[in-house]
Chain A
Amino acid sequence: MRYALSSLCLATLLCTGAQALAQQPIKIATDATFPPFEYIDAQGQLAGYDVELAQAVCEAAELDCELIAAAWDGMIPGLMSRKYDALISQLTVTEERRRSMAFTEVYSRPVFRFVGRDGSEYDFVEGDLAGATIAVQTGTPMDAFVSRHFPRSTIKRYDSSSAAYLELVSGRADLVMSYEAQITYGFLSDRGREGFTLMGPRYTGQDAPEFGEGVAIAVNKRNDALREKLDQGLAKLRETGAIEALDAKYLGGE
């Protein structure tokens, strides 16, 4: 009897140990300074397009996920050092990034635009924009694009996209480059932004390689199993129309 009891205890111990391992949630990081895609809402909770998408993908793939608000500068290195298992933060897939991490299938194809003060005019022909001050978030496709195509402008780089907008509002920057949807629904939609407007051409991945193939979830290169599961989740959402529903909710059904 005693033997049976102790072996039962041992079995439960082992079981709970294995369960704890299995229940280690998937850590998904996001840079919550990019409304409406990822931001911290008034209740202090993570919210936005990518946040809802991540939750839906995890549910569809039957994964236990935990979303973490991370700083932009530590996010990609954190994925590579396995602090995070995946990143969902409107990350564009580029040749260069593919060398450091793996991506799921693309789930959206963003358009990139400039935003500036109403009434100001700029010549967006390649090599020009001389004298203009452009604010961008460091290490983004927009940073790579303006660095390469507008070397005669002054480029100011910030750790977060919100800081770039602050500089536009204060007048220290003439233009901000970002995702068109992000400018429209994350900046222009706010109060007191009547004096600003979208400017210049609508750029996509076809116009410049810096803009990448589209937006996807990033996974550690050695974690193929997780990438496949997330892809299955994304495929299910595509079938059920959940991604279109998200587009309609956040991006006016574009």
Chain B
Amino acid sequence: MSPQKKHFRPRIATVWLAGCSGCHMSFLDLDEWLFDLAEIADVVFSPIADVKEYPENVDAVLVEGAVANEDNLELIRKVRARTKILVAFGDCAVTGNVTALRNPLGGPEVFLERAYVQEADTQPGIPRDHSVVPELLPRVLPLHQVVKVDAYLRGCPPSPAAIRDLLLSALGGEKEKE
């Protein structure tokens, strides 16, 4: 959108960290309402849009997934710095949920060994090139233990209606401030 445009068009984004993408599937289940959303807001970053870099000045973001690796950590910090309203989107973002099931088992080496060595059919070996496979954090963390979270949307996944209601209230609140 052009900066000269007079009417306020909120800039929203969705981010996919360590989760199964089910929350995004629920977002897509909003079906034709997504056209209505496109009427009132610009989606400036999302795993379902081909944008490489998280942009500046985002009004609201839905973040799916927990913080499990160095890539997640780097992205969530960037997202926080560039966004007004950060929503923990679904149970992995809110609690760690299934993604955090690895935490009781010990550090990452335990299951990297299991997955890439013990269970490997061919060429056993843990991938150490972190530009290819991001380094795992010692523990999977919910978003609010890493950055400030402004709203929590529970559910595994949250229902499409709950996502719509939250987006509308977040966008409504931003609109009033203009």
Say whether A associates with B.
no
> Which A positions have Cβ atoms within 8 angstroms of B?
none
